[in-house]
């Protein structure tokens, strides 16, 4: 199986590569459209700020390439958010593959922002969450979120429900860090590789 990790200087790809390595899968870090099209699975990690990430995608021509991919695709953290239509973060137009607008959490004394740490997943749907339950925790670190919608495949709360995972066709996204979520994250990553 050929696994491609999208290379657009979008943050901590090393952790994702190591997580794949722990699963016995080897991955190629690439921005080459042909390599991305050829891969059996594509992972799209991301960290940092939305407008810089979109700028980096445009510079690499990836904003045009990613939407044309047809194999199972997994956006992680900012990589999930970039699948949406628009982000409140610096008023940024996104890839537009899913119909959500990314919004900022409003902090209160009980709910700090960034939403940072382990939270449990609720209302789990679809093949990524096979074998998991609402008692399972994953690691989040983000200040912006996608609201719950028809595309939502898992929810978490902070304090209101938001999309912990989304899906449209082959495009999956998880707001949490599968690569840093212990055995639960490893299971989700393995489920994705088995799609």
Partner 1 sequence: MVKKRLIPCLDVRDGRTVKGIQFEGLRDAGDPVALAARYAREGADELVFLDITATNQRRQPLTELVRDVARVLDIPFTVGGGISTVADVEALLLSGADKVSINSAALARPELIADLARRFGSQCVVVAVDARLVEGEWQVMTRAGTVATGREAVAWCREAAELGAGELLLTSMSHDGTKSGFALELTRAVSDAVPVPVIASGGAGQPADFTAVFQEGGADAALAASIFHFNETALPTLKHYLHSAGISVRL
Binding site for partner 1 (CB under 8 A): 11-12, 14-15, 18-19, 21-22, 47-49, 107, 109, 111-120, 137, 139-143, 157-159, 177, 179-183, 185-186
The owner of tokens 């445009």 is 58
86 part of the active site: no
Between 84 and 167, name the residue whose CB sits nearer to partner 1: 84
Neighbours of 100 (CB within 10 A): 25
Between 40 and 59, name the residue whose CB sits nearer to partner 1: 59
Q: Which of 89, 115, 172, 179 is catalytic?
A: 179
Between 15 and 170, name the residue whose CB sits nearer to partner 1: 15
Contact 103, 147 (CB under 8 A): yes
Q: Which of 77, 89, 115, 142 is catalytic?
A: 77
Between 127 and 159, name the residue whose CB sits nearer to partner 1: 159
Q: How far is the CB of 48 from partner 1 (least distance, A)?
A: 4
Cα dihedral across residues 97, 139, 46, 38: positive or negative:
negative
77 part of the active site: yes
Q: How far is the CB of 182 from partner 1 (least distance, A)?
A: 5
What is the set of active-site residues? Answer: 77, 177, 179
């Amino acid at each position: 199986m050929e696994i491609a990790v999208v290379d657009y200087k979008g943050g901590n790809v090393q952790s994702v590569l190591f997580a794949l390595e722990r699963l016995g899968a080897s991955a190629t870090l690439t921005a080459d459209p042909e390599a991305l099209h050829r891969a059996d699975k594509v992972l799209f990690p991301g960290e940092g700020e939305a407008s810089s990430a979109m700028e980096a995608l445009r510079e690499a021509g990836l904003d045009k390439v990613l939407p044309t991919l047809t194999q199972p695709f997994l956006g992680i953290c900012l990589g999930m958010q970039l699948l949406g239509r628009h982000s409140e973060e610096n008023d940024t137009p996104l890839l537009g593959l899913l119909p959500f607008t990314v919004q900022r959490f409003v902090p209160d004394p009980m709910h700090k922002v960034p939403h940072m740490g382990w939270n449990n997943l609720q209302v789990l749907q679809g093949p990524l969450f096979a074998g998991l339950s609402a008692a399972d925790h994953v690691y989040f670190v983000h200040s912006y979120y996608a609201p719950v919608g028809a595309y939502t495949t898992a929810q978490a709360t902070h304090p209101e429900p938001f999309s912990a995972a989304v899906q449209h066709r082959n495009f999956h996204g998880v707001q949490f860090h599968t690569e840093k979520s212990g055995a639960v994250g490893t299971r989700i990553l393995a489920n994705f590789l088995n799609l």
